[in-house]
A = this chain, B = another copy of it.
Amino acid sequence: MIRKFTFGNPFPTEAVVETYPAENVTLPYFSIENGSFSCTLEPNAPVYGLGEQVRGINKRGWIYVSNCTDEPHHEETRRSLYGAHNFLIVGGETPFGIFLDYPGHLTFDIGYTDSNVLTITPEDWNLDVYLIESPDGLCSSIVHLFRRMIGRSYIPPRWAFGYGQSRWGYMDEKDIRQVARGYLENGIPLDAIYLDIDYMERYKDFTVSDERFPDLPGLVSDMKKEGIHLVPIIDAGVKIEKGYSVYEEGVKNNYFCKEADGTDFVGAVWPGRAHFPDVLNPEVRRWFGRKYKYLLDMGIEGFWNDMNEPALFYSEKRLKKVFEELEKFKGQNLDLEKNNAFLGLVNTLANNPEDYRSFYHEPGNGREKVRHDKVHNLYGYNMTRAAEEAFEELEPDKRILLFSRSSYVGMHRYGGIWQGDNTSWWSHLELNIKMMPSLNMCGFLYTGADLGGFNADTTEDLLLRWLQFGIFTPLMRNHSAMGTREQEAYRFSNREALKRTIQLRYCLLPYLYSEYMKAALKDTMMFRPLAFDYPKDAEAAQVEDQLMLGDSLMLAPVYRQNALGRYVYLPEDMLLITSSGPEDFRCRKMKAGHHYVKAAAEEVIFFLRKGQLLPLAAPAANVAETDTSHLTVIAYPGEDCSYTLYEDDGISRNYGSPDNYETITVNRVGIASCYGHRNRTVCAIKIKD
């Protein structure tokens, strides 16, 4: 049951697609005092949710703030990341869900100040609160209700389930061709190369450097012949430059965010001084969205939207003030206090809260202008919405790949997200694992982290172990920052193991695509905590480093340096699958309970659930070349197993027809069959019972 409670005059975020009448009774579960909602937490009961956030699947024990932030460090004591996903499930005897539809700064103290108290504090009292209760008391039912309420998740083209390579620092066409060649010559599959800010002319959106990319359409076309899609980045800020059409049009039509006095707000990002399209306004969204056509017309079929928290290096006004202030420190003895003040001046230039309070949006539809900080968390959402709404118009019969850095609940309908600018830390591989189910709860299905880590230098085994997890995440992209160790898979002495791991992704494609589409079309979670599938199992509730993936699999990634195995908890009997690459699937039945499972550096381990099966394709050079007409099936031995396979053309916007579903069965003696509208042969791998 979903109940809505309205406080004050909320800004219409359009996160929720269904209409609910607001109730006039008091909000149950919570008491409201001192400007906060509070409720008691049962001892040791978990709290789930918050989507893109730091720490565990169980969010208890920390204080989090929904405040979309360019936060490249992600340490566990940070309070905000790039997204704002205000959905929680409060566990205990009778779990319930709560969604706070509030686009401003929102604090969740989940057993931090007092270990048994949850306190939620908005900055003001204009918000909608939705309570979600399920008669069966299951967390998965609560998520399902919430997901139905916020609308269907974004569906990318099928090629976007291939492996992609990215780096901030591919400076020109030559670099791109070299990366493509590196992969092709080493026989490593590849579906996409990402273009970071380097492809643009002086970091201007919807421009391409003439000098460094003299013929982007030609390059796009050449790459496509190799099965590789180029995916350019688009930034939120528009460079201030006379004669630059996007800037000129924006100024002329009042499309940029303005300060209180009506002048266009000046913040700085990559190009320096920039204006920010007022994407909360439908007319501006339509204008900005149609700008993507410039690149679509060059053959581009996918984009990533960046810096859309929006990130600010500085505002012009603040920078001026800081330079004046700096003068005062000249020639002085900078002791602790003065040195901190001096450094503080410079190091609070970026993303300064005062700057976010200095500009405004004109949301249109007769609504009054609104100060940015009040709706801060909607910016990336609406920038991405602008693009996807334009794509629906420009390419009505074709899915365009789109994902964003910043997001709010609701944006999951328009695009995916990547998990931000992480670092080459083992702890960020672990965070990647833990974030998957939390994001799925909030509707973000098309997601993944920068494999190998974006900032800092990766290591051979970190990249390998991360790819071993990344082969399961819908977005599978290796990305790294300028100045760090080169991170393409073919550059490492363990390249053979990296290659064989990436090949596995393509074997898994029929399963991953099926599970993605079923989760999107049925408002369910592709990645789930063990506790969701085994709600009565107290030991499963403790597990934070294993995940249920779709109908058939349980993942147990290795995420420790130099580890040659790991502990795994099996809530029921399962089949251990150990693989070092395609055609190496060693299977062993294991009993429910705790186990130490070996996994050499080049081995990925995962588990098949009792009574389930896993369809596998032969490895291929890319998604388009993956032959799904012949599938090999691993079935849990000695039982009747069946599986619902989903397949469609992978590119049109017509999905979900009943014809797209097929049933694969393997009976207890190992005979495999497939029922559906396609000609498909399936063959079961023989496994000793």
The chain A residues found within 8 Å of chain B, CB to CB, are 44, 46, 55-56, 58, 60-63, 75-77, 112, 114-116, 197, 202-203, 268, 270-273, 313-314, 319, 323, 326, 329-331, 333-336, 338-339, 342-343, 346-347, 423-427, 456-457, 459-462, 493-494, 539, 542, 544, 560-565, 567, 569, 594-596
Contacts and interface: CB of A to CB of B under 8 A. Distances in A.
A432 to B, nearest CB: 15
B273 A333 contact: yes
Contact of A567 (B56, B560, B594): B594
A336 B115 contact: no
Contacts of A461: 61, 115
Given A339-B272, A567-B594, A423 B77 contact: yes
Contact of A542 (B75, B462, B564, B595): B564
Nearest to A75: B425
A319 B334 contact: yes
B61 A459 contact: yes
B61 A272 contact: no
A298 B215 CA distance: 79
B112 A77 contact: no
Most buried by B among A58, A202, A346, A561: A561
A76 B459 CA distance: 11
A298 to B, nearest CB: 24
B61 A562 contact: yes
B115 A335 contact: no
Nearest to A197: B336
Nearest to A538: B564
Most buried by B among A63, A336, A427, A462: A336
Nearest to A541: B564
Nearest to A330: B323
A462 B562 CA distance: 26
Contacts of A61: 459-462, 561-562
A55 B423 CA distance: 15
Contacts of A202: 335
Given A61-B562, A544-B562, 17 more contacts: A62-B561, A75-B425, A76-B426, A76-B427, A77-B424, A77-B425, A77-B457, A112-B459, A115-B493, A116-B493, A197-B336, A272-B334, A342-B346, A346-B346, A347-B347, A427-B427, A542-B563
Contact of A336 (B203, B462, B561): B203
Nearest to A323: B330
B330 A313 contact: no
B423 A58 contact: no
Contacts of A460: 61, 115
A534 B60 CA distance: 38
30 contacts: A44-B562, A44-B564, A46-B562, A56-B561, A56-B562, A58-B561, A60-B562, A61-B461, A61-B562, A62-B459, A75-B423, A76-B425, A76-B427, A77-B423, A112-B459, A116-B493, A268-B339, A270-B335, A272-B338, A314-B334, A323-B326, A323-B331, A326-B326, A346-B346, A542-B563, A542-B564, A542-B565, A567-B594, A569-B596, A594-B594
A61 B601 CA distance: 12
A499 to B, nearest CB: 16
Main secondary structure on A side of the interface with B? loop
- Copies, count: 2
Contacts of A272: 333-336, 338-339
A53 to B, nearest CB: 13
A459 B46 CA distance: 16
Nearest to A76: B425
Contacts of A564: 44, 542
A594 B494 CA distance: 30
Contact of A115 (B494, B544, B563): B494
Q: What are the nearest 9 A-B pairs in CB distance? A: A272-B335, A77-B456, A272-B333, A567-B567, A594-B596, A346-B346, A270-B336, A58-B562, A323-B330
Contacts of A346: 342-343, 346-347
Most buried by B among A326, A339, A424: A339
A272 B336 CA distance: 7
Nearest to A596: B594
A212 to B, nearest CB: 15
A373 B60 CA distance: 47
A460 B115 CA distance: 7
A651 to B, nearest CB: 36
A75 B75 contact: yes
Contacts of A313: 334, 339
A461 B494 CA distance: 40
A562 B112 CA distance: 12
Contacts of A427: 76, 427
A494 B116 CA distance: 11
Contacts of A494: 115
Contacts of A329: 323
Nearest to A58: B562
A562 B529 CA distance: 15
Most buried by B among A314, A423, A544, A567: A567
A16 B512 CA distance: 60
A114 B273 CA distance: 43
Nearest to A338: B272
Contacts of A115: 460-461, 493-494
Contacts of A116: 493
Contacts of A273: 333
Contacts of A270: 335-336
Contacts of A330: 323
Contacts of A319: 334
Nearest to A545: B560
A56 B271 CA distance: 41
A563 B56 CA distance: 11
Contacts of A544: 560, 562
Nearest to A455: B77
A596 B539 CA distance: 10
Nearest to A63: B457
A65 B6 CA distance: 57
Given A75-B425, A339-B313, A595-B594, A561 B55 contact: yes
Nearest to A339: B313
A570 to B, nearest CB: 12
